[in-house]
Structure 1
Amino acid sequence: MDHSGQDKELLDTQEAADLLGVERASIYRYVREKKLIPVHHFKSKIYHRNHFRREDVLSLQKAQDKPGLTTGEVSKRLSIHPTTVAKYIREGKLHATKHYYNGRNLNFISEEELERFSNEETIHVKRFITKDRSYALYQPFIHPQTREFGRIVAIEDEEVELKTSHDRVLTRNELENEQFEPLYTFSTIPYIARRGTISFSFPRPRHLSDIVCQVLDRFYKEIGIANMMLVEKEEEILLDVKPCSLAFSKQDQSVDLIHEELLLLQECVIEGEVTLQHEEIRLVSDITPVALYLPSKLKETLRTVAAKDEKTMEEWILEKIYPYLEEK
């Protein structure tokens, strides 16, 4: 019997892995989980190896396709914490659907739903950086010929407004056409993994050279946008930064300016600690560890419940007890 037509529809383990874009080990796991049923193609009485119908592999590929954006991806797109995304989902403000993906039931949000959410007036998310991460709120610019100075004073998606020392307000197209240049580049240091953040509440800047703007400049230059979150309110600026040290040199800066920046940070800190040590300003989180001992079964239950909400166990516990503790 001629099996050549049938063989053309069969894939060996490596071919199936290549088609799915995974390693061979994943194919073995799919077989164990009965997600992919092999066809044993015998070449002799004592030798065989797994083959798979192409249509079965393609069906699995379709099932494995990610059905939308994860809460983690949405949090990055909106520049908010994943727990905030989960909160919006629970409150019904952001619509998500559960799908089984990579061995877990996860919430997924469609691109259309994310666009609707972002444009909804009552829950509009204001960003302190543009989507392409090219511009940030209060970032300084200067014209190389005229030396006209300005700062970004408003951001809406990809659009920005630059207010200049000549009392002009320029759009993104205008500042780019006039060839304004950023006064510095953002730091590209990676995300700081140390636990906790230091939170500040600054008064909104009153002018382009306001000391608040200078402090923001320092953060942009030294820790970068990956390690800070800025929210602008009517009368204040809320800033969260990761634990870090801000270096300075008395040769490069006046003692008065260093003292002024330090004083502002210490006066405006909400959570955390700001200290001066040697030639650096240290920002330390006030997060402290709490030991929690649980029976192993209860721990596994906690892990499962937290995973369903797409949180770590620590995040899940904190979210549950924080509102209660704040009332005390």
Structure 2
Amino acid sequence: MSGEFIVVNDEQLLTTKQVAEILNLSIPTIYKYIKEKRLHPIYEDSWQIDETHLFKKEDVEELKGKLKKPGLTTGEVAKQLQVHPTTVATYIKKGELKATKQLYKGRNLYFIKEEEVVNFKRSHPKQQKRRKKDFYHKATGLYLFQTVKNKQTFELGRIMKLSNGSGEVWTESGEIIVFDQMQQHNFFAVENFLEKSYITKRGYVIFRFPIPKHIASPIFPLIELFYRALSYRNIRVTKREQHIQLEVKPCFIKELNEDSHPYEINLLQKHIIKGSVIKRHNGLLLESDMEVLTINLSSSLKNRLKELAKHQDLTMEEYVRKLIQMKASEHQ
């Protein structure tokens, strides 16, 4: 904190600047709080003498407690739910997510308690669908196709099947180990991938790779690179009989540049089926093919679309997109 305490009659007092730092507010806001009688300096005219107000520390601490954020903002909840803030506002308006409007730092804002967000994630159909990620095992933090190593023999292996906590690990020697017995056989992850923030941009860039014939295929380290850069929050990996589908949120990845990963970039360009891969001098830009289409509808038609979308557990945007795709397919 800037400066030393000012002591008057053996009592430590705070300056305007020190109060602003403690409350994480601007100095003009402190003057606003004084005018609104939310903060009381010991001398109303002190600024004329010492160029600052003086405040009792206990008064400032009391106000700090009142200003403490009473929950999560709609923006913070949107990041947790991996949706746009306007979607959170819609959940609140429908009564699906409990929130309270409170005065905070001079503004009336919606706040949501952490436990309400947890309950929403557990019960809301959209969140249940979103939470299902068969390529990621949350309890262990392990991913499908992730590299593992035997701590005693240093033999490498790879998690080749993973669903609801069960699966298989294939080793270099051809052994197949049940996923939940991996550690009993001394196999552990070579790397722990850190969680990353949600990317709220719309759409996905989609790649489709043929199923590799060996666990040493370069396709697997490429997928691990995305785990490292984006974590499970911003990708989807699906293993089919004939191919592996990788869906990635629009992003810029510094780790993927022409100097260090030319082969990997070529793989991505060769196997992209939706979106675009754009090379930059300092990394790789991945962009979806989503574009905004603005239309005007009557209120009755809009409400009808909302109801139809709700019955299919879709947002209105998802439902309208589905209708347009179906109609466009009929005329191909």
TM-score normalised per structure 2:
0.57
Identity value in percent = 27
CA displacement at 1:133 relative to structure 2: 10
Pick aligned residue for 2:235 from 208, 216, 230? 230
Q: What SS does the corresponding residue of 1:180 show, helix, strand or coil?
A: strand
CA distance in 2, matches of 1:142, 1:87: 47
CA distance in 2, matches of 1:277, 1:49: 52
> After alignment, is 104-113 or 25-34 more displaced?
25-34
CA contact (8 A) 2:136 2:232 kept: no
Pick aligned residue for 1:264 from 259, 271, 296? 271
Deviations 1:12-70 (A, max 9, x none): 43553455355655523433555324342668x96685233555434421221111122
CA distance in 2, matches of 1:92, 1:32: 37
CA displacement at 1:200 relative to structure 2: 1.9
CA distance in 2, matches of 1:285, 1:217: 21
1:170 is matched with 179
Q: 1:174 to 1:72 in 2, by over 3 A?
A: farther
CA displacement at 1:112 relative to structure 2: 1.6
CA contact (8 A) 2:206 2:272 kept: yes
Amino acid at match of 1:170: F
CA contact (8 A) 1:198 1:243 kept: no
Pick aligned residue for 2:53 from 37, 50, 53? 50
CA distance in 2, matches of 1:250, 1:21: 43
CA contact (8 A) 1:129 1:135 kept: yes
Deviations 1:45-98 (A, max 9, x none): 966852335554344212211111223333444455545544443443332222
TM-score normalised per structure 1:
0.58
Q: What SS does the corresponding residue of 1:107 show, helix, strand or coil?
A: strand
1:139 is matched with 146
Pick aligned residue for 1:100 from 103, 119, 144? 103
Q: 1:325 to 1:27 in 2, by over 3 A?
A: same
Q: 1:288 to 1:252 in 2, by over 3 A?
A: closer
Amino acid at match of 1:242: P
CA distance in 1, matches of 2:112, 2:288: 33
CA distance in 1, matches of 2:149, 2:162: 17
Residue pairs, 1:139-158, within 5 angstroms: 139-144=146-151, 145-151=153-159, 154=162
Q: What SS does the corresponding residue of 2:205 show, helix, strand or coil?
A: strand
2:120 is matched with 117
CA distance in 2, matches of 1:228, 1:260: 23
Q: What SS does the corresponding residue of 1:149 show, helix, strand or coil?
A: strand
For these two proteins, the number of residue pairs brought into alignment is: 282
1:199 correspondence with 2:197: no
1:180 correspondence with 2:172: no
Structure 1, unaligned runs of 5 or more = 291-318
Amino acid at match of 2:158: G
1:240 correspondence with 2:245: no
